[in-house]
Amino acid sequence: MKLKSMRFKCLSCGECCRWGGYAFLYPDDVTRISEHLNLTLQEFINKYCRLVFVEYNEDGEVTKIPYLMLGRGENGCIMLDGNLCSIHPVKPFQCEAAPFLAEFLLDDEGAKAFADNCRGLGRGPKFDIAEQRYRLSVQNDRDGDYEESLAAHNWNLAELLGVSLPEPEVIESCGVIIDDEEYNED
């Protein structure tokens, strides 16, 4: 399924922060949020983050990429306060860009999960998905930059950030690979 357009208006219900998805953090997310909270990187990571490895399978070649992600409390994301994000002004790129992310726009399972949980879909202004492709391009560039930085540090995220990290959890495989054709097609 490829969406052509959709109506969307966030109702600030907080559901997308409660369901079982993951809030991944790029290094600049980690820096921005820890500064906002007046914490060192290490303090922020110790208090709020988990380390996961996501397995990407491209043509049978499996790559494991380490990501920090926000932890979860009883109510969903550890940063959720009631229905609202307690770090809204500095929330992770992934949260700020949702639902215009590859995980939702290019992946059937992700699109269904979002549609099942988000009451804001189908309401508000209509977004032409083709016009939103630049967001996929930004996401793709950010993933590429992250992987390049990791590769320069032997895929060692602790070394890249200059911190020590918690024990890793390997989570699921991810089949979403964005390629040029998908976000450049007419």
Binding positions for ligand SF4, rule: CB under 6 A = 10-17, 23, 70, 77, 79-80, 85, 87, 91-92, 95, 117-120
When the beta carbons of 10 and 160 are compared against ligand SF4, the nearer one is 10
Q: CB of residue 98 vs ligand SF4: minimum separation in angstroms?
A: 6
User: Which CB, 72 or 177, lies closer to ligand SF4?
Assistant: 72
Residue 82 CB, shortest distance to ligand SF4, in Å, is: 10
Q: How far is the CB of 153 from ligand SF4 (least distance, A)?
A: 25
Token couple for 105: 């726009």
Instruction: Compute the least distance from the CB of residue 48 to ligand SF4, in Å.
Output: 10
Structure tokens at 167: 């024990």
Residues whose CB falls within 8 Å of the CB of residue 145, separated by 6 or more in sequence, listed in order: none
Nearer to ligand SF4, 117 or 177 (CB): 117
User: Looking at beta carbons only, is 118 or 161 nearer to ligand SF4?
Assistant: 118
CB within 8 Å of 106: residues ≥ 6 apart: 2, 136, 176, 178, 182
Tell me how far apart the alpha carbons of residues 34 and 44 are, in angstroms, rounded to a whole number.
6
Give all strands (DSSP E) within 21-153, no chain letters: 24-25, 49-58, 61-70, 72-73, 76-77, 80-81, 84-85, 121-128
